[in-house]
Amino acid sequence: MIEETAVILECAGEYAQVQTERLSACGSCSSRSACETASLKEEPDKALDVVLQVLNPINAQPGERVVIGFEEEALTKASMAFYAVPLVTFILFALVGQWLASSEGAAALGGVFGLAAGLLWLRYFAVKTSQDKHYTAVVLRRVGEVRVDLECAINPDVSRLNN
C-alpha cells in the first residue's frame, strides 16, 4: 500500500475530497545550494498541490489530516496500461502495415492507426476503472492514530524476542 498524508476538504457520501502536496527531494539533498532546479522550487507554487476524490470509510471530517492509501497492484496495472498499450499497438500496427504493403508509408499509417486504437482502448479502460473501487485511493486513518500490527502476536519468533 502506498501511503500519503492529506487534508480533508469536503465530504460527500462515502467519498471525500482531499488535498495532498507533492513533495520534492530537494529539501534533503546535500547539493541543494548549488542546484538550479532546487532554486526553482523555492517559490511557493500551488500547482504542486493535488486534489483527489477518495473513499472515506472512517468518516473523516473536513479539516482533519489523514493518511490515504493506494494499492500498489492497481497502480502497476494502470501504469502498464497507460504506457505499454499505446506503444505496443503502435508497433504492432506499424509492423502489420509494413508486412501488408511493404512500404514505409503503410508502416507509418499503420502506426498512426495503432496509436489511435491504443488511445481509444485507454479511454475505455479509464472509464471502466473510474467506477472500480480497487483503483480508488482510500482514507486509511487519521494522522496520529496508532496502527497495530497483529503479526507480532501471531508470529512466535517475534514473541521470543520480548522474553
Model confidence over 114-147: pLDDT tens digits?
999 999 999 999 888 877 888 888 888 888 765 5
79, pLDDT greater than 80:
yes
Domain 1-70+135-163 has CATH 2.40.50.140: yes
Model confidence over 47-59: pLDDT tens digits?
567 888 888 888 8
Burial 148-161 (b: 16+ CB within 10 A, else e): eeeeeeeeeeeeee
Residues 103, 105, 109: CA angle, nearest 5 degrees: 120
How much is the average pLDDT of 27-37? Answer: 63
3-state helix/strand/coil string of 89-123 = HHHHHHHHHHHHHCCHHHHHHHHHHHHHHHHHHHH
Rounded Cα distance, 93 and 13, in Å: 45
What is the residue whose three cell numbers read 457520501? 13
Q: Give me the residue spans of the domains in the chain.
A: 1-70+135-163, 72-131
Q: What pTM value is reported for the model?
A: 0.59
